[in-house]
Structure 1
């Protein structure tokens, strides 16, 4: 993350806090999406029948 400028006014401080909250929310959304995707893959993989033989070996 690039260096953030030091706020000189109360308005700049509020803008900086809003930016940091937005960045945190964006990272949490990505993490949540990754967890849902991982859960979906796990559920999908457990529903697939297991192969006892490698189909590429023939």
Structure 2
């Protein structure tokens, strides 16, 4: 099955990627252009939080 390009969301509750926003917006971060980018979304969030805590700008 070929998935469409774009519109991938990371669900913070389930830890899974959704194609198109299927869950409540309060559970999602995105959209992302690819599934791979969405799969690594939570890692990016953690990196940005650490940088913010250190007073760095992204």
- Fold equivalence (TM over 0.5): no
TM-score, normalised relative to structure 1: 0.32
TM-score, normalised relative to structure 2: 0.32
Larger % of helix: which? 1
